[in-house]
Amino acid sequence: MKEVLFNNQEYGQVLTQLDKLMQDAEQISDVDNKVLLYQILQYFDSIHREPLSRIFQAVEDHPAIKKMMLEDPTVSKLLALYDLVKEKAEHKRDDQNVVHVTEDQVTMLTIPKKKDWLELGDFKDLEINKLYPKNYQKVNFLISRIGSEVFAIQNQCDGSFLPIDKGTVEDHTITCPWHGCKYDVRTGKSADDSDKSLETFPVEIEESGLLKVEIAYQ
């Protein structure tokens, strides 16, 4: 297809820049800003995904146009990003160095984590069944008081960057606000029979009521 705004190489550079920005966005520690950013991205995704799917359906009966679209690296990249087609190998970007290794070449490297106990005030100041987002050393976690106990759990849904502190907790089950995944706040394990899980953090309450949470971080 005819180049309009920039050439294929410039398009690749835009994608590389976007990759870098998304990596920076993952490091945002402020939970509210992160939620806002991901909500905006979700809406952008939706307003593009639906019309793009319709356009792709419309060209199904026009093989010549469809072929032209799929042969264009920018168009096929976009379609692949929205899961409408598989990306052709020759259209993958040169800057993506994919190295294929066999299973026996893979070794586990365990980097020991540092651990700190955080003092988070008197646990009685926490409202029951409320989720409180916290951040320490780039670890997003939340605390929740259930009766006279407090639990600390990763504030990021498994397989996603989205936080779960805007969800609800009931009977030790946290429900993620985005698509409804459920987790047991005591163990971090899925409460809806999926293989998802969240990291939990040790909690101590001193006799004075002082709440302490141990956070492990890289």
Residue 178 engages ligand FES in binding (rule: CB under 6 A): yes
In the complex, the smallest distance separating the C-beta of residue 198 from ligand FES, rounded to whole angstroms, is: 10
Q: Which residues lie closer than 8 Å to 122 by C-beta, 6 or more apart?
A: 208, 209, 210, 211
Question: Can you give the length of the chain in residues?
Answer: 218
Judged by DSSP in three states, 74 sits in helix
Going 157 to 160 to 161 to 166, the CA torsion angle's sign is negative
- What is the footprint of ligand FES within residues 113-172 (CB under 6 A)? 157, 160, 162
SS3 of residue 146 by DSSP:
strand
- Examine residue 211 and tell whether it contacts ligand FES (CB under 6 A): no
What does residue 41 show for φ and ψ, rounded to 5 degrees? -65, -40
- 124 in helix, strand or coil? helix
CB of 17 to ligand FES, least distance (A): 26
* Shortest reach from residue 214's CB to ligand FES, in Å: 25
Cβ distance to ligand FES smaller for residue 120 or 142: 142
Q: Whose Cβ is closer to ligand FES: residue 153's or residue 181's?
A: 181
Closest approach of ligand FES to the CB of residue 163, in Å: 9
Contact 169, 131 (CB under 8 A): yes
Cβ 190 to ligand FES shortest distance, Å? 10
Task: Output the smallest distance, CB 31 to ligand FES, in A.
Answer: 14
Q: Which of 120, 139, 152, 176 binds ligand FES (CB under 6 A)?
A: 176
Closest to ligand FES by CB, 86 vs 179, is: 179
Q: Which is nearer to ligand FES, 12 or 163 (CB)?
A: 163
- Asked if 38 interacts with ligand FES (CB under 6 A), we say no
Using CB under 6 A as the binding criterion, the count of chain residues that bind ligand FES stands at 8
Strand residue runs (E) in the chain? 114-122, 131-136, 139-146, 149-154, 168-170, 173-175, 182-184, 200-201, 203-205, 210-217
Nearer to ligand FES, 160 or 187 (CB): 160
Contact 115, 213 (CB under 8 A): no
Yes or no: say if 142 and 157 are a contact pair by the CB < 8 Å rule. Answer: no
- Positions 179 through 198 that interact with ligand FES (CB under 6 A): 179-181
* Binding interface with ligand FES (CB under 6 A): 157, 160, 162, 176, 178-181
